[in-house]
Amino acid sequence: MANAAWSEKMLVLLRGMNGFHLPGSCRARCLRFTVAGQQVGWIAPRVASILAAHPQVFEPRHGGAISLRSNLGLYACRSEAVDTVLRTLRDTGSLSCLEAWRDEKCDVMARFCDAPLMGVERAAMGLFGVKKYGVHINGYSRSDTGELWMWLARRSTTKQTYPGRLDNLAAGCLAAGMSVKGTLVKECEEEACIPADIAKLARPVSTVSYTYEDEEGVCPESQFVFDLELPPEFKPRIGDGEVQEFYLLPINEVKELLVSEEFKPNCALVVLDFLIRHSFIEPDTEPFYQQFVEALHQAV
């Protein structure tokens, strides 16, 4: 049977990553954010009051919504108008999340299959509660006896978020205009020095989606998950400095680390998905199996 303490800790982690769906969250007080008549996000009340000072870009709507002005009619025009407001807010220090400005935009759309409506600075995505997409790669190898061992990365201590925490083999945000597979190859090469011909062998296997909230906004995220089996003789190497070390660990050790404070929370969810798909966690031995699966695929 499953370790009851481990299972309870995992439930706590999953609830935290899906806090926006729980009673007592800010969801009931949030305003819907619409662009061109489509809801693309959720805006917390404090952020809504700050955006109200920029009526040339944002306008309130009846029924609890904030909309981008309809005269901002094209992707480039919308992106530029929002970017101007965000830079003003950054310069005035109105919102602390903008201190982590990255000069990297993410596309905004109601659904991933839709045409992007605008691009928004990555550090500001939570202010509008728009979904951020990423690509995460589970790297693993097989021992001489066929057992799976997983590659984990330890994040650099200079990372803006979760410095020094454990991470997947490689991962990255899906920047505006980038494809999922292109992001995968780029992150593998940059972070782990994995050549493109090996990275392209990664198989798309799942998505992991969740929505949490922080002090300044709502954070819906969806990660495209890939599994990459590396040859036993291959060892990832530190590339762009975002990782300080790589580890090849047995699955039982990885599983215990998931519920420790060492792991970056969303990366722990990606590994949990791996453990379920590869039958290291099964419904007859894990009492919270169904809750785990449901929590990994929460739509906003």
Convert the pLDDT of each residue in 165-190 to its tens digit: 999 999 999 999 999 999 999 999 99
Second-level CATH architecture of 27-128: 2-Layer Sandwich (3.30)
Q: Where are the domains of the chain?
A: 4-19+132-295, 27-128
DSSP per residue over the chain, as a string? ---HHHHHHHHHHHHHHTGGGSTTSSGGGPEEEEETTEEEEEE-HHHHHHHTT-TTTEEEETTTEEEE-TT--SHHHHHHHHHHHHHHHHHHT--GGGGG--S-EEEE-SSTTSPP-EEEEGGGHHHHT--EEEEEEEEEEE-TTS-EEEEEEEEPTT-SSSTT-EE-SEEEE--TT--HHHHHHHHHHHHH---HHHHTTPEEEEEEEEEEEETTEEEEEEEEEEEEEPPTT------SSSEEEEEEEEHHHHHHHHTSTTB-HHHHHHHHHHHHHTTSS-TTT-TTHHHHHHHTB---
Q: What is the structure's pLDDT at 266? A: 97
Q: What is the mean pLDDT of residues 236-262?
A: 95
Q: Mean pLDDT across the stretch 190-207?
A: 97
Residue 299 has pLDDT above 90, yes or no: no
Indicate the pLDDT class of residue 199, thresholds 50, 70 and 90: very high
Kindly report the pTM of this predicted structure: 0.94
**Best CATH choice for the domain 4-19+132-295 from the list 3.90.650.10, 3.40.50.300, 3.30.750.80, 3.90.79.10:** 3.90.79.10
pLDDT number for residue 61: 82
